[in-house]
Amino acid sequence: MNSTLIISPSGVRGVVGEGLTPGIVTNLASAFGELMGGEILVGYDTRTSNNMFKYAVFSGLLSVGCKIVDLGVCPTPSLQFMVKETGANGGIAITGSHNPPEWNALKFVRSDGLFLFPEEGERLIEIYREGNIRRSAWNSLGSVLKDNSAISRHIKRILEVVNVDRIRGKNFKVAIDACCGAGAIASPLLLEKLGCDVITLNCNTTGMFPHPPEPTPANLRDLCRVVKEAGADVGFAHDADADRLALVSEKGEAISEEYTLVVVTKSILQKSKGFVVTNICSSQAVDDIAGEFGCPVKRTPVGDVYVSRCMRDCGAVIGGEGNGGVIFPPVNYARDGMTALALVLDYLASENIPISSVIDSLPSYYMFKRKIKNPGINLERLKQKLSRKFGSSKLDFLDGIKIWFPEGWVHIRASGTEPVLRIIGESKDPSGIKKLTDWALGTISSLKR
């Protein structure tokens, strides 16, 4: 397989013009139209390749007789919300999400607003690879309608699940960095409706990302500066399709994206106790907070579809992933940076303390995250090696390999969105995290020799 094309049950991603081409996109859209039929909603972020891929998606869907509703530029969670609300048969989000600008992707949405389940994604890939797609005749091709209401309808729903008057009463000054992505229009509008004094940074829709779109502390230096210089109460940052949210404190300090879910979890559990769901490599701080309220935590493989599906099945009150992806069922079973933003402001308004004090009140952990490009490592062989060394009580193979140490834990897995090996570790103290980092990198290095 082309190293710049990743086809998996969760969707397809690739480098534009190398792995990912209009022909591939058209055929995948046709396969999705064959699988779902009927009305398909299409939305996209701001990437420069999206005009090309939008028409490729339209062509594929029209060829199998689907009715297309073009939502225009909108956050992926807005698309998911609209699919559920309108009763459409499915949706396609054209977005590279947190990937660099040369990448793009298709995300496929079920009629209930969740992404395709793995078994459905496998069936989609099967249809695509078999190529036996029933094309419509000239007089039964599909149609295209335009609907620009996705963002406004999504915002309307978000405003129904927070205390708008309480937030407006605080007159928060908020800086927002949308990385010139899909949140560039949506989040400033939401903030204005919440009565905030809004400072926008990178909120045009050119698709020329001013920094890598993954909302990690290393990519938020400009936002930190703006927050501090403007005396803002908080800074928010999205990735390119606004399904993730990172925070900057009023001191101009970037907060690990892991803590977005932790903050929101504490806020929700204070009002409504129940199951919390997150993936296998999100911070242990989620468990600590849930434990304070006597609430159980379920862990899933990495990927929002696994978290969403588990949340729906167990009736969870809150969930998400440690990459800044919060899933709040009253809005939708989707990672949603806009809903997360409103929930954080609601919590700040109710507690009447600065965001730095909120973070200081949470369990403190140190975490490292590494990406190793084209590692060429056999994870099955690594599993066998570690099983002999550690024994089953210290290993978890739910997704990749998670190893428990006295100092904390390390998780190793192949990425589903990039041709990389992801290594994450967490400890309660700096010396522990150094030890875990050295062990993990040393282990991987020894396997490459």
User: Residue 321 belongs to what H/E stretch?
Assistant: strand 318-321
Same domain, 264 and 354: yes
Q: Is residue 162 part of a domain?
A: no
Structural domain ending residue among the three candidates 300, 328, 360 = 360
Same domain, 193 and 101: no
How many residues in total does the chain contain? 449
Q: Is residue 405 part of a domain?
A: yes
Closest CA to 371 of 296, 268, 441: 441
Place of tokens 């698309």: 79
Place of tokens 């589903």: 416
Same domain, 71 and 193: no
Residue 314, judged by CB atoms within 10 A of its CB (0-12, 13-18, 19+), counts as middle
Same domain, 204 and 313: yes
Q: Is residue 176 part of a domain?
A: yes
Q: Is residue 156 part of a domain?
A: no
User: Residue 76 belongs to what H/E stretch?
Assistant: helix 76-86
Same domain, 83 and 38: yes
Closest CA to 104 of 173, 48, 180, 41: 48
Closest CA to 10 of 128, 97, 112, 121: 121
Same domain, 304 and 179: yes
Q: How far apart are CA 420 and CA 432, in angstroms?
A: 25
| Amino acid at the residue 420 | V
Structural domain ending residue among the three candidates 343, 360, 377 = 360
Same domain, 338 and 212: yes
User: Which residues lie closer than 8 Å to 300 by C-beta, 6 or more apart?
Assistant: 277, 278, 279, 280, 306, 307, 309, 310, 398, 399
Same domain, 17 and 99: yes
Same domain, 101 and 214: no
Closest CA to 44 of 92, 115, 89: 92
Q: Is residue 163 part of a domain?
A: no
Same domain, 92 and 236: no
Q: How far apart are CA 73 and CA 86, in angstroms?
A: 18
Same domain, 195 and 304: yes
CA dist list (Å): 431 to 208, 281, 362, 408, 436: 40, 20, 20, 11, 9
Q: What is the pLDDT at residue 82?
A: 98
What are the beta bridge partners of residue 327?
319, 335
Same domain, 176 and 263: yes
| Amino acid at the residue 74 | C
Residue 381, judged by CB atoms within 10 A of its CB (0-12, 13-18, 19+), counts as exposed
CA angle at 30 for the pair 29 and 33, rounded to the nearest 5°: 85
Listing DSSP states for 198-220 in one string gives: EEEES-S-S---SS-SS--GGG-
DSSP letter for 180, please: T
Q: Is residue 28 part of a domain?
A: yes
Dump strand ranges (E) for 187-275: 197-201, 234-238, 245-248, 254-255
The catalytically annotated residue of 30, 97, 249, 282 is 97
Count CB-CB contacts under 10 A for residue 143: 12
> What is the separation, in whole angstroms, between the first and last Cα of the chain?
24
Q: What is the separation of C-alpha 288 from the centre of its chain, rounded to a whole number of angstroms? A: 23
Output the six-digit token pair for 439: 């062990």
pLDDT tens string for the chain (449 positions)?
Answer: 455 788 876 789 999 999 899 999 999 999 999 999 999 999 999 999 999 999 999 999 999 999 999 999 999 999 999 999 999 999 999 999 988 999 999 999 999 999 999 999 999 999 999 988 999 999 999 999 999 999 999 999 999 999 999 999 999 999 999 999 999 999 999 999 999 999 999 999 999 999 999 999 999 999 999 999 999 999 999 999 999 999 999 999 999 999 999 999 999 999 999 999 999 999 999 999 999 999 999 999 999 999 999 999 999 999 999 999 999 999 999 999 999 999 999 999 999 999 999 999 999 999 999 988 866 778 888 888 889 888 878 999 999 999 999 999 999 998 877 778 899 999 999 999 999 999 998 888 877 65
User: Does the active-site annotation cover 97?
Assistant: yes
Q: Is residue 160 part of a domain?
A: no
Look at the chain and report how many structural domains it folds into.
Answer: 3
Domain that holds residue 35: 5-150
Structural domain ending residue among the three candidates 328, 360, 392 = 360
Domain harbouring 217, CATH code: 3.40.120.10
Output the six-digit token pair for 169: 């009463």
Prediction pTM value: 0.95
Q: What is the pLDDT at residue 132?
A: 85
Output the six-digit token pair for 311: 């949340």
Q: What is the pLDDT at residue 449?
A: 54
Output the six-digit token pair for 177: 């960095």
Domain harbouring 385, CATH code: 3.30.310.50
Q: Is residue 157 part of a domain?
A: no
